[in-house]
Each structure stands twice: as C-alpha cells, then as structure tokens.
Amino acid sequence: MEVLSEEIITKKIKGSIVTPRGFSAAGTNAGLRYSKNDVGMIASSVPASSAAVYTLNVFQAAPIKVTQDSLSTNGLLQGVVVNSACANACTGEKGLKDAYEMRNKAAEKLGVEEDLFAVASTGVIGEFLPLDKVINGIEALKLNSQIENAEDFQNAILTTDTGIKGCCYQAEIDGVTVYMGGAAKGSGMIHPNMATMLGFVTTDVKIEPEYLQSALKQVTNFTFNQITVDGDTSTNDMVIVMANGEAHNQSLTPDHPDWSVFLELLTLTCESLAKQIAKDGEGATKLVEVLVDGAKDNEDARMVAKQIVGSNLVKTAIFGSDANWGRIICAVGQSQATVNPDTVNIAIGSHVMLKNSEPQNFNEEEVRAYLDGDFIQIFVDLQNGIGSSKAWGCDLSYDYVKINASYRT
C-alpha cells in the first residue's frame, strides 16, 4: 500500500454519514424486530460516484446481486436502503424478486431511477423477507441531515452489535474542506474477504467511479480485510462508498496532487470502522491489535497478522490473560508466509517473549496485568524484509458460545 506523507493532516471530527454535504439519512421500526429500528436509508441530493466490495462467499445474498446490478449501469448511486433481522440470503428467486422490489420502492420514495439505489440486508439466513413490513418502513422514513437521523440509521442496521459504529473525518483537497463519514455493523460471522459485514461511507469529494473503486479495493485489503471475530465469512458482507462531488474540488485521479490526501481520508475512515467491529465481537472483552514488521513484503505481513489475530488458541489465551506466546509462534508458522524460524521476535505489549527465536525471561504477573486490560497489542518482527501490516480482532469468551447457540431464539 502507498506510504502516505507525514505532512498530510486529516482530522477526526464529531460527525456522521450526514456530515458530508448533500447527504441525509433515516431509520425506523417497521416491525421486523420487536421495538428497535430495522429499516434505514442513506440518500444523496445528487447522483454520487459509487463503489462497492462484496463477500467472496459463494452464496451471495440477493441484496448483493441487486446492488451489483445497480452499479453496473454507470457506477452512480443516489441512495442505499437497508434492513436488519432478515438477511434475505439463500432465498432463491423469491428472495431476488423481493430485493428488487425493496430497491424499487426506495427509489420511488426518493423520486429517482431504480438503478440509482443499492440494497443491503442483514440478519437470519434462509428466511424470506417480510416485504410488506419493509415497504411500510420505507414509506415511513423521514430523511434529514441531523446527527440524530444518522443514529437512527445506524441503529436500524444492527443485529447482535452492542452499539452503533460510526466516524467522521475532514481534510483539505484543492484548498477546500472535504468530509467523509462512515457507519457500519458487525459483531459475529466476521472474517471478511473484500468487505466486512456491512459498511457505508459517504463523502462530498468529487471523483469518478473507476478511481473510487480502485481506491476502495486498495484500502479494503489493509483495513476491513484485516479484521476477524470468528473466522466465518457472511453471505451479506458489503462495503459501499458514495462520493457526490458537492465539495466541488477538481475531480480526483491518481495524478491529482491531493490523491494521497484522499487515500488517507478513506484509510482512516475504513480502519476506524474495522476496529470498532473487531472490538464489538460477540462476547468480546478485549480488542486485539497485531503489528507485523520485517516480513518479505506487505502481503506476507498481512497474512501473518491475520493468522495470529484469527487463531482461536491465541484468542482464548488473550481472554484468559495467559502469556502463552507459543500459540503466537504456531500461528506465524502456519501463515504460509516466508519465515526464517531462527529470526523471529515476539512481544506482548512492551514485554519481550522471543528474541531471534530464543525464549526470553519475563515477569508473568506483569504480563498478566497487561493482558487483563481491554486493548492488547502483539508485536512480531520476522527480520526477513521490509514488509509490514496490521490486523484486528478480539478475544474468544464464554459469551460468544452463548450468543451463537441461541441466535435464532
């Protein structure tokens, strides 16, 4: 991934998906869930250049197919409609027809062409969409650009999440202040490959769809694709970015002098959402960050970091505050990266466990006290090159089993 200049300043601000110019949102309870919001919408005042990445699970849900169809027209979207409680996945022709009807009703509400809307769903797999309720919910939505409306949307997309996930950043492009907001959901069945559970990014930057798609794909590989909760990839994983150009900057391309600013803006937004998802893993008590340096290349570093953070043995050791670095070295060794077994360094926080693949003395009580915290860092230096990467995950607790043992009830 491109190394960004230290001179680039992107500022995190208090805002949301409706902070970028021209965006509005809404959420409501349509009866898919007992009392919580379950239907939501994001809309732009004008058609927006858009890009998306999707799950690589063979059983892609009907909403993904509809969104792919919409974006295939010209890469523009003016809105996205979402429901929770029902994934509309593995539902055959009826499920696909329902997803198109959901899209068409959303477009009708906004008064735009049908192919200017994307569709996303999340919830139980294999159940048909209660379409009448969804349509009533769409009709009841009241779009606005207040932060409360963004929160209504964020609540409408949740399933087993313990809270809403969002962020907002600003930067300077062509001397103009531009904004980027993000919202996401995800707590279980998180092991993304080209996406996360559901992620939505809005920005008022002007950029053509082809360059936006390229940027999203690049950034996704080092953000959303580097989180894991339980090793399972959902049928509905999707990230959508909408850029409506309302900041009126010169259209961005990789040759634009501020292209790296835009990449940083997108990277920080996606990384923030990814880390919030990892932290909110079902039953999780700790956020785990793995930092790998000294790999043959960035791809090798990425594989090692993801292997460590996804290891159930590492995750359970973190839950039990057990400084069992042997589980970490085992994960490194099975990552398929090029590793010299005689040169590996491992540290948990500031506590060195292994140096040049030789065990080091450490204070068990001090390390246990560190592992009792809610943010754990694991450092690995392969001393085999200049590649580096990060990955994020969580511990694996008793509650994860309880939550998933009774998911449908």
Selection from 393, 226, 231 nearest residue 315 by Cα: 393
Q: How many CB atoms lie within 10 A of CB 274?
A: 29
**Distance between CA atoms of residues 378 and 55, nearest Å:** 28
**Distance between CA atoms of residues 155 and 112, nearest Å:** 25
122 is catalytic: no
Q: Which two tokens stand for residue 153?
A: 């949307």
The β-bridge relationship of strands 198-203 and 176-185 is antiparallel
**Distance between CA atoms of residues 267 and 109, nearest Å:** 33
**Distance between CA atoms of residues 289 and 393, nearest Å:** 7
Which DSSP string corresponds to 194-234?
A: SS-SEEEEEE---B-HHHHHHHHHHHHTTTGGGB-SSS---
The catalytic position among 10, 19, 122, 196 is: 196
For residues 408 and 316, the answer to whether their CB atoms sit within 8 Å is no
For residues 243 and 215, the answer to whether their CB atoms sit within 8 Å is no
| Non-local CB neighbours of 328 within 8 Å, separated by 6+ positions | 308, 311, 314, 346, 353, 378, 380
**CA 343 to chain CA mean position, Å:** 34
Selection from 184, 260, 200 nearest residue 5 by Cα: 260
**CA 273 to chain CA mean position, Å:** 5
Selection from 169, 153, 211, 162 nearest residue 186 by Cα: 162
Which DSSP string corresponds to 99-146?
A: HHHHHHHHHHHHTS-GGGEEEEEBSBTT----HHHHHHHHHH---B-S
Q: Which residues are catalytic?
A: 196
